[in-house]
A and B are shown apart, each in its own frame.
Chain A
Amino acid sequence: MSSNTGPTSLPHRTVSSIRAGAHSTTAPVPPQTPARPITSTFGSPSASSRVDEDPIVIEIGSRKLRLGFAGDVAPKKIVAFSPDQLRRTGDFRVWEPDFASQWRGRASGKPWGADHELWKLDIRHQDLALIGDKLERELRDAFFKYLLVDSRPRKVALVLPPTIPIPLLSSTLDTIFHHFHAPAISLLSSPVMTAFAAGTRSGLIIDLGWHETTVTAVYEYREWFKDAHARAEHKEDRLRDEALSFEECEEVATRMLWCKKSARQPYRRPAEEGLPTVHEHEEEVEEEIPPTEDHSPMVITLNSCKPPKTVEIPFLRLAEPCETTFFDTRLSPSCFDDNELPVHLLAYRALLQLPLDVRAICMSRIIFTGGCSHILGLKGRIFDEVSILAEEKGWDPVRGKGVELYKTNLKLKRGNARQASNGGIPIVVQPDATSSDGEAMEPPVKAADVPQEVDQVEDLIKREQNYKPSVQGLLRAIDSLGPWCGGSLATQMKTPALATIDRDIWVQQGVNGASRPSEVDVKTGQRQSMGPSGLMRGQVTQPNNWTLGVWGTLF
């Protein structure tokens, strides 16, 4: 209820209101004037005083840190965590000539690759203060060496995966507030930012990350649905059983892995009734020698084993880790636990669980992101697998033998064919004949075939100059500039973040001071949309109840 003053005062400054003003000269014009002072008083005062200071955008993943100024195309520094950064200041042993060959001594007694990540999502045995220290060192290093900033307080925008637990978030915020004296930190969710950087308002973000692959459906800049599973990059490093150093393994993994095309290409099918339409692009031109049959050895020089040696791995086998990590095609879907579904199944299920309209929008905005998406062919493979799944199974969550029997039963099917298709994508059936023809000439047309009535409201929307019909209902993959760029864009446009935390309040209250999003007024707290109204609104942060946005929901 308290939100009424906020949002309602805003839409006055829209195009429509001005045009309306032209029609009926008086009506909508006066409200504009009071709208301005309201925004300026509610908006954060610090923003106006530090206009020239670009906020710093930081994207934190479990292995990499991206930093840069808002408005930059690419981050100024990408930090990959590694054990060498955990040395004491003034320990220069890294530069000793035989340092690299002694990795065995250094790595012993620790889990494999443990020092290469900032945190694990399972926080049970982690020292949060240590994480804060690591983060602080890397941030300081990047700030002073790459961003070339001084210690003046700057606003910070954090791009975070929505899955990180609150203790980690709290530790991060503590570090930044305490050591870098940021006056305010705004939190942005990385899937939303990925969609933003792709130029879309919604999308199905498949983040192939280090710990896990997350499929997030973003609809109108709100996270709708999240599904995470533990199938991720670090499994793929089990390339060879020999004792190899983590660094080398990773190098092999990032350099050489590729991904087979799916065994069956999704074929184009005429748009039949009851089946979702899958528009495939042009059939790929067949190669002379398909890479899948290539057994020619690839020579890889390994330096970290004793003695250094050169191994030859058939090209085909280099695709295997991908196969086992992401797809596991050999096993039937019922073998997988909920958190270890193959990626394509996960994406399909995520789509399936979405409401109809949202699914139609999201399926045509599939966005791949994350470190593993650079594996050659992986994106295409996942996309193909998902389209095959959609083709075979439709968008019907109910399946099994009973359903198949039911569907094949002709008697029952006739009446229900429509329903089955309704489970799929809303295809606006537009018969060639004009609407008057359809109504007048053929009365016994099925109800579903009747052309839609002219919707006045929709017409109004369409008449808007800005309107363009949005693509929906076909599977389509979109390229995004990545969450960091999204964060950079959004911060520069002064989009209100999901949550903005002031330093003073944080220092006073800590993480416990955050109210649950449900307690705060929903409209201002959690569901701030990035519509034009939101863009100019400034932060509506009441000092009494602030939230951690989506990150605070489990709290």
Chain B
Amino acid sequence: MASFTPYTYIQCPCHDSAVQGRTADDASPTVSHELDEDDDDHAFDPRAHRSTFSLYPLEYLLYCDVCHQIRCPRCVSEELVTIYCPNCLFEVGSSSLKTEGNRSTNPRAFFAQLQKLRYGEDQSKHVVSGDTSPTKPDSIPDTNKARFAALKSFYGSQTINANPSAGLSGLGDYGLSSPGALTRIMSIYSGNNMNGLKQKNKHAIMREADSTNEGFRLVDLDESSAISQLRRDGWDGTATSAQGKTQVEEGAQFADQLWPIPYLLRTKRSKRCPVCRHIISKPEPKVSNTRWRIRLAANNNAIPTISIKPLNLLPGSGSGSGLLNPLRPAQFLLTFKNPLFDDVKVTLATPATTPGRFASRVTVLCPEFSIDANPDNDMYLDDVLKDGEKERQRQRGDEGIHQAEAGKIWDRGRNWVSIVVEVVPASLRIEPPPALLRKEGDPEQDLSPLREDEDVLEIPMFVRLEWESEASHDQVGAATTRDKDAKEKRELAYWCAIGIGRISQE
């Protein structure tokens, strides 16, 4: 609880379309959404339950460079590349996935599990014999499977009984030679249902299963043996719910009903943009190779990374505890780093106060600035330039050191800019808060106790990027040279949530 690392979450724009696709629902969700649209101040509330599902750390996001849009794990379409067992790294064909299921069938993996079970969980009196043959031949997995198969074949036989592939026998003679054929055919096609009525009472009814080899079973209602087992083995003899959840078969109640779990197979997937079908991420198909063939990660291709650190010059930022003192202004440096090879104009917007019960004031001192292009990703060049850069930095930074000024950036580097954000954290007292900090028009005062993470000062921030780049869509990372070709204006706008710090609760 004491430690807090600042974070940035970015909202994928796809959540909007999801809401708009919801047309004919009940009143409540749509109404609330309309409210959101109208009211600019509350355009995005990172605390709202729903935004949990649309916020992602930057590393999870991809970027389609054809549509020029962020793509989150929710809005890509995936294709299987490789299926493999994470334990033995065997590759599994997709056809055997159908027959053998989603778990590793490699006996080695299974045996390893058995060993783990034998040595790892001694306390649960569970004895597994060394060989892999099940201890009880007719235990749960077998019977369920057998019953299912029996039922299936039973239903299958019933339907075949009822509808034998009789078309064939019927095809033999159409009965066209007989004198009544024409009238019969006429009656069929004219919709005269005399024939149908005649047939109706003869149509066979699917029978119920009534023997064990048809999958039928009576419940054993006498569970006294299980009860006495519960009494005998006590708490430790029962399977924990965590154990029960990880079991392949459902319904283990006692520890001796637990089975070793084969490894779940894993997949490598390539991802496509759902709109233009462009591949935006593709791994190497080999299991042992962890590289990517194509990967248009958002942090390399569009979105500037934001790093946050406190501007420790001011007193009262509570450096000791790492917590923010309520009602004391604190200043933070946000550093935007541009991954693009073009200059980017950034426009920021935040609500004046953070949404939620505890409204902290937020002021972005410099909401508009531009970041220079990322000159090159070359490592050596980077090192060489470092000294000169630092020097420049010092020169430029001179005026900003003492005082953060509104409208001016704090610091600037080769492809980064840092700005100052001033926050006045709200007080976390649950009693009706001071009228000063309270916004007008808040009708209800929610006096319930502090919820999880409600003490984190989280700033919703709208980021708009504007840049000019070459008009070509063809290549992914090759656009290094800045030619004087026709430039294309691009823009990208998104919401993000910036976690600045935890407010101390006194």
Contact = CB atoms under 8 A, between A and B. Distances in A.
Nearest to B72: A89
A256 interface: yes
A199 B208 contact: yes
Contacts of B154: 199
A533 B203 contact: yes
A80 interface: yes
B26 to A, nearest CB: 4
B77 A151 contact: yes
B183 to A, nearest CB: 11
Contacts of B449: 108-109
Nearest to B173: A29
Contacts of A89: 55-57, 60, 73
Given A16-B204, A88-B55, A532 B163 contact: yes
A128 B53 CA distance: 14
Contacts of A88: 9, 52, 55-56
Contacts of A368: 219
A536 interface: yes
A374 B239 CA distance: 13
A127 B231 contact: no
A35 B452 CA distance: 64
Interface residues of A, number: 128
Nearest to B168: A32
B290 interface: no
B243 to A, nearest CB: 10
A140 B77 CA distance: 11
Contact of B193 (A4, A33, A468): A4
A522 interface: no
B266 to A, nearest CB: 8
A129 B33 contact: yes
Interface stretch (B140-148, B309-317, B326-334, B360-368): B140-148
Nearest to A87: B52
B217 A478 contact: yes
B231 A109 contact: no
Interface string B56-81: 11011000000000000110111110
A8 interface: yes
Interface string B110-147: 00000000000000000000000000000000001101
Interface in A505-539: 507, 509-512, 530-533, 535-536
B434 interface: no
A86 B49 CA distance: 8
Contact of B222 (A14, A20, A284, A489): A284
Contact of B158 (A261, A467, A532): A532
B207 interface: yes
B29 interface: yes
B211 to A, nearest CB: 9
Interface residues of B, number: 121
B221 A33 contact: no
A86 B159 contact: no
A90 B188 CA distance: 65
Interface stretch (B246-254, B369-377, B398-406, B463-471): B246-254
B289 interface: no
A417 interface: no
B198 to A, nearest CB: 8
B215 A127 contact: no
Contacts of A130: 29, 49-50
Interface string A1-43: 0001101111111111110100000101111111010000000
Contacts of A127: 28-29, 32, 49-50
B148 A485 contact: yes
A403 interface: no
A342 B322 CA distance: 56
B269 A466 contact: no
Contact of B174 (A33, A134, A145, A384): A33
B43 interface: no
Interface in A253-297: 254-256, 258, 261, 281, 284, 287, 291, 294, 296
B276 to A, nearest CB: 15
Contact of B188 (A7, A34, A256, A478): A34
Contact of B264 (A126, A146, A149): A146
Given A87-B52, A478-B216, A532 B78 contact: no
Contacts of B395: none
A251 interface: yes
A549 B56 CA distance: 39
B264 to A, nearest CB: 7
Contacts of A76: 101-102
Contacts of B156: 493
B163 A535 contact: yes
Interface stretch (A227-235, A375-383, A419-427, A443-451): A375-383
Given A128-B29, A380-B223, A17 B199 contact: yes
Contact of A171 (B25, B155, B164, B245): B25
B241 A255 contact: yes
Contacts of B203: 10-11, 14, 16-17, 531-533
Given A127-B32, A466-B207, A150 B218 contact: no
A57 B341 CA distance: 48
Contacts of B23: 510
A314 B219 CA distance: 29
A256 B161 contact: no
A349 interface: no
Given A5-B191, A89-B55, A251 B241 contact: yes
Contact of A468 (B83, B167, B210): B210
A255 B239 contact: yes
Interface stretch (B14-22, B407-415, B418-426): B14-22
A220 B320 CA distance: 73
Given A90-B60, A479-B220, 10 more contacts: A14-B203, A30-B170, A36-B167, A71-B152, A78-B245, A130-B50, A148-B267, A179-B74, A200-B209, A251-B240
Interface of B: 1, 9, 18-19, 21-26, 28-29, 32-33, 49-50, 52-53, 55-57, 59-60, 73-74, 76-80, 83, 97-98, 101-102, 144-145, 147-149, 151-152, 154-156, 158-159, 161-164, 166-167, 169-171, 173-175, 178, 180-181, 184-185, 188-189, 191, 193, 195-197, 199-210, 214-224, 226-228, 230-231, 234-235, 238-241, 244-245, 248-251, 253, 264-265, 267, 269, 448-452
30 contacts: A5-B191, A8-B200, A11-B203, A13-B163, A15-B204, A31-B199, A33-B170, A33-B171, A88-B9, A89-B60, A90-B56, A130-B29, A148-B80, A149-B80, A151-B76, A151-B77, A178-B18, A197-B151, A379-B223, A466-B161, A468-B207, A470-B210, A478-B218, A478-B219, A481-B144, A485-B148, A531-B205, A532-B204, A535-B159, A536-B163
CB-based closest 10 A-B pairs: A532-B162, A199-B209, A8-B196, A510-B24, A11-B203, A16-B202, A380-B221, A151-B77, A90-B57, A109-B451
